[in-house]
Structure 1
Amino acid sequence: MAKLHYPLCLLFLLLSFSPSVQQQTFLYPSDLLSLHDLRTSLQGLPGSKFFSSWDFSNGDPCTTFTGVVCSRDDENPSSQVLRVSVLTLGTGLTDSPGLTGTLPESICNLTYLSVLVLYPGQVTGSIPSSLGSCLRRLRLLSLTNNLLTGPVPDSLAGLPDLHTLDLSNNRLSGPIPPSLFLPSSPNLKVLILSNNGGLTGEIPEGFSTSQILHLDLTHNSIYGELPMLPATLRYLSVAQNNMCGTLETAFSGTTIPDLEFLDLSMNAISGQIPSHVFSLPSLTSIFLDRNNFTGTITVPASKTPISWTVIDLSHNGISGQIPAGLASAGALYLNSNRFIGSVPDRVVQSIYSGQMATFYAQHNFLTEFPTQPDPLPDSVALCLSYNCMVLPLAGANCPMNGGPLQSRPQEQCISIASTGGD
C-alpha cells in the first residue's frame, strides 16, 4: 500500500491544535494577587458556600472560581494572558447567605473589569475612593444590599463607559456627586441610590440635561424642588424624601414621551398637580400620595385614552370634582382629600365592569355614587366611607385602616358645600 504524504504546512496546523503543543492561557499576575486580597478581605456569612470553589492551590481561577469571568485583552487578542472582566461576588439571591468584610483598595488593580457586583451581604466600610479612577472599563457597578457607609465617591463620575450604578440599600451619606450628571459620565443611564437614608442635598442641576433613563432616590434625605425632568427619563422615584416646592419646574420642559413610572410620594410637595402629568403617553404608574397638593385636577382630553395601571393621589388636599378622565385607571386612590360632588358615571361604569379593580375614595366630601342594577364584581375593592352621602352597600369594602364605615357629620358637609370644596 502506498504511504500517505501530508503537506508539511498541514502537519504543522494539526500539531498547533494538539493540547501538548498549544500554548496555555494564564491569568495576569496582578489580577491573581487582587483575587487573593479579595478572598482575605471578604468572608462568607454562616451557611454561605460562595467561596468553596476559590482554591488557589488547585485550579484555574478563570474556569473554577464562582463569580469570576476572564477575557483576553481586546487590544491584543492573540495574547495568552487573561484578565478578570466580570466579578460577581455573592449569589444574587436576596434570601441567600451573603458575604461580610470590607472591599480592599487592591480591587483597583482589576483594571480590566467591566462588571462588578457585590450582592447580597453585610459588607461594611466605605467604597474605595479611587474606584472610579482605576476601573475605567466598568459598565455595571452594583454594590446593593450591604452595610456600606460614607459618601458616593466623586471619582465614579469619571467612568466613561459606566451605564448602571446601583448603590441602593446601604448606609451611604452626603450629597449626590453633581458630576454624575455632567458630560464626563456620558453613558450613565441607570442610577439607583435608594434606601440609604443618609443621602442629602438637592438633586444636581445637571440632571435636567442628562441622558438618564432611570433614577431611584427613594428613602433618603434629599430636599429642594424637583428640577426639570430630562426628556429621556423612563423611571423616576424620589419617594420618602424631603422634597418641597411645586411641580411647575419639573414639567416645564419638552414632553417626556417615554416616562412610565413616577413616584413622588411621602414628600412635602405643594401646589396644583400639572395637567401635563396626566397626558404623558407612556406613563402608567403615578404615585403622588402623602404630599401637600391642593387645587383641582384637570385630565386633558385625548383621542387615545391612557390606561394607567395605578394612580395614587391619596392624603393630599385636592379639591373639586373627580375628573371623568381618570376612569381608565386600573386602581385609583383618591382617599383623604377634599373631593366633592358625584362620582362620575364613567368611573362608576369602569368599576362595575371590573376594569377598575380598586377605587378608594373614603374621607372626602362626595355626595353620590350612582349605583347600577348589576352586582359589583367580587374582585373589585371599593371604599366610600366618611363622605357626605348614605353609604351604598357596595361601598363597604374598605381596608382595615380605612376608618369607621359611616358618613361624615352633616355640619362638615354643609361647611364644605358653602366653599365649593376649597
Structure 2
Amino acid sequence: MLSYNQFNGKLPSSICNLTRVKYFFLSNTNLVETIPMCFGNMSKSLDFLHLNGNRFRGPIPSTFSKECSLRSINFNGNKLEGKLPESLANCSSLEGLDIGNNRIHGNFPYWMEAFPQLRVLVLRSNKFDGNMSPSSLTNHPFPMLQVLDISGNAFVGSVPERYINNFNIMINTTKDNIIGNSIENFFRILLEMRVTLKGQHQLLERLLEGFTLIDFSSNRFSGSIPCSIGNLQSLRYLNLSHNNFIGNIPSSLANISTLESLDLSSNSMDGVIPSELTGLTFLTKLNLSMNDLVGEVPRSNQFSTFENDSYVENFGLCGVPLTRKCKEETRPIEKEDDEDEDEFIDGFGWKSVVMGYGCGSIVGIGIGCRVPRYGKPRWLVEFFFGVEYYKKKKKRRQSKATPTQRRR
C-alpha cells in the first residue's frame, strides 16, 4: 500500500510486471497522465485496484481479462473520460465499483445488474445520462446492493422500480447479509468512498455494518416517487433532491423505520406532509425545502426538532417552526365568538318576545278587568262598549254613592 504519499509524474509501464500482486493501493498522491492499459491484464491476479484521489486523465483501461478476479475498483476523484469499457463486464466478482467525480459519460451500466456480489456502486458527479427504466433481462438485478450513488449526472425518466423492488439488502438487512465471511469483512475494511450524508460531503474509510444509501440527487428524474420505496425498511439514507419529481410525498416512507436522513428538496412536490412520517424515530436530518407543499407542519416526535430550514420556500406550509400561522389555529376562536354573538342576538329576540307577551298579557288582563268594572278610561269604554254603556255605568255609580258623596 503506497497511498497518501508525495509521488508525482506518471506510472511506469514496468509496474505491469507485478503479476502476483493482489492488492494495489496507490490513492491520494499526485500521479498524472493515463492509467496504464496493462492494469486490465493484471486483473487475473488483482483483488483490489484503488487509484482514487489522483490526477489521472484519459480512458479507463479496456483490457480487463475474462478471468478477471477484481473485487474492488476505485478510480474516484480523477479526470478520467470516455465510457465504461465493455470488458469491465468480465469482472463479475466485483463487490465495489467507485468511479465518482470524473468525466465518464454514457448510459447506466445495465450489464452490472447480474453481478451477484456487488454491494457498492458509485457513479456520482460524472456525465451519465439516459433513462434507467427500460425493460431488463435480469430477473433479480442487484441482489446484494447496499449503496447506490448516481447523483450529479443527467439521468431522466422515472425512478427504476424494478431495482427498488429487488434491493434485498435494503429490504431486509440481516447480520449474515452485511457481515458475511472474513473475505467480505476484508472488503468492507479496505473500502474507501466519498458520499453525501445529511447534507455534508464525507469520506467513509470503511463500509460500516448495516450502512445503506440511495442517492439520486441532482439529476433530471421526473414523475412521482413510487410507493414501493417504502419497502426498503433497512434503508438509512435517502436523497432524491434537485430533480423534477411531482405529486405527493408517499406516506409509505414511514415504513422505513431505520431512516436517518431524508432529502426531497428542490422538486415540484405538492400536497401535505404525511403525518405518518412522525413515526420515523431515527430521523435526524430532514429537508423538504423548495417544493409546493401545503398544510400544517407536523410537530410530534422527531419532527419537533426540525427547524425552519427544513421547510423553506414551501409557501403553502404553515405552523411551527414557520412564522406563518395556520388558519385552523384561529378558526375555533372565531367560531366561538360567532356563536356567542348569534346566541346573544337569537336569545335577546326570543326572551324579548316571551317577556313582551307575558307582561303584555298581565297588563292586558288587568286593564280588561278594570275597564268594565270602573268604566275608566272613558275613551276605552266608549271604544269597546259604546257611549250608552258608559252612561249607564255612570248612573249606577251615582245611585250607589252616599248623600255626602253626591253633594260633592
Task: Name the TM-score class by shorter chain.
Answer: 0.5 to 0.7
Conserved in 2, the CA contact under 8 Å of 1:98 and 1:121? yes
Measure how far apart 1:301 and its partner are: 7.9
Distance 1:235 1:126 in 2: 28
Measure how far apart 1:109 and its partner are: 0.7
Task: Give % identity.
Answer: 27
Return 5+ residue gaps in structure 1 as ranges.
Answer: 1-87, 92-96, 372-381, 393-422
Distance 2:242 2:56 in 1: 30
Structure 2 CA distance for partners of 1:145 and 1:158, relative to 1, 3 Å: farther
299, 303, 312: which is aligned to 1:362? 312
Which one has the largest radius of gyration? Answer: 2
256, 270, 286: which is aligned to 1:332? 286
For the residue of structure 2 that corresponds to 1:131, the secondary structure is helix
In the other structure, the counterpart of 2:110 is 205
In the other structure, the counterpart of 1:341 is 295
Measure how far apart 1:305 and its partner are: 5.5
Structure 1 residues 57-72: aligned runs within 5 Å: none
In the other structure, the counterpart of 1:90 is 3
231, 245, 251: which is aligned to 1:279? 231
Conserved in 1, the CA contact under 8 Å of 2:230 and 2:256? no
Conserved in 1, the CA contact under 8 Å of 2:95 and 2:119? yes
Conserved in 2, the CA contact under 8 Å of 1:366 and 1:388? no
Conserved in 2, the CA contact under 8 Å of 1:90 and 1:99? no
- The letter of the residue matching 2:58 is G
Distance 1:267 1:307 in 2: 25
Conserved in 1, the CA contact under 8 Å of 2:272 and 2:294? yes
Distance 1:256 1:359 in 2: 34
Structure 2 CA distance for partners of 1:320 and 1:152, relative to 1, 3 Å: same
For the residue of structure 2 that corresponds to 1:173, the secondary structure is strand
Distance 1:112 1:363 in 2: 58
Q: Deviations over 1:343-368 (max 9, x none)?
A: 23xx434333x4x5886111113343
Distance 2:221 2:24 in 1: 37
Structure 1 residues 4-153: aligned runs within 5 Å: 88-91=1-4, 98-153=6-61
Q: Deviations over 1:339-391 (max 9, x none)?
A: 111223xx434333x4x58861111133432x5xxxxxxxxxx5x36x6859x
Conserved in 2, the CA contact under 8 Å of 1:251 and 1:276? no
Root mean square deviation, CA, Å: 2.6
What TM-score, normalized by structure 2, do the two folds share? 0.63
Structure 2 CA distance for partners of 1:341 and 1:178, relative to 1, 3 Å: farther
- As a proportion of its length, which structure holds more helix? 2
Return 5+ residue gaps in structure 2 as ranges.
Answer: 172-211, 330-408
156, 169, 174: which is aligned to 2:64? 156
For the residue of structure 2 that corresponds to 1:194, the secondary structure is coil
Conserved in 2, the CA contact under 8 Å of 1:108 and 1:135? no
Q: Which has the larger displacement, 140-149 or 98-107?
A: 98-107
Measure how far apart 1:253 and its partner are: 4.4
Q: Which has the larger displacement, 122-131 or 138-147?
A: 122-131
Measure how far apart 1:293 and its partner are: 0.5
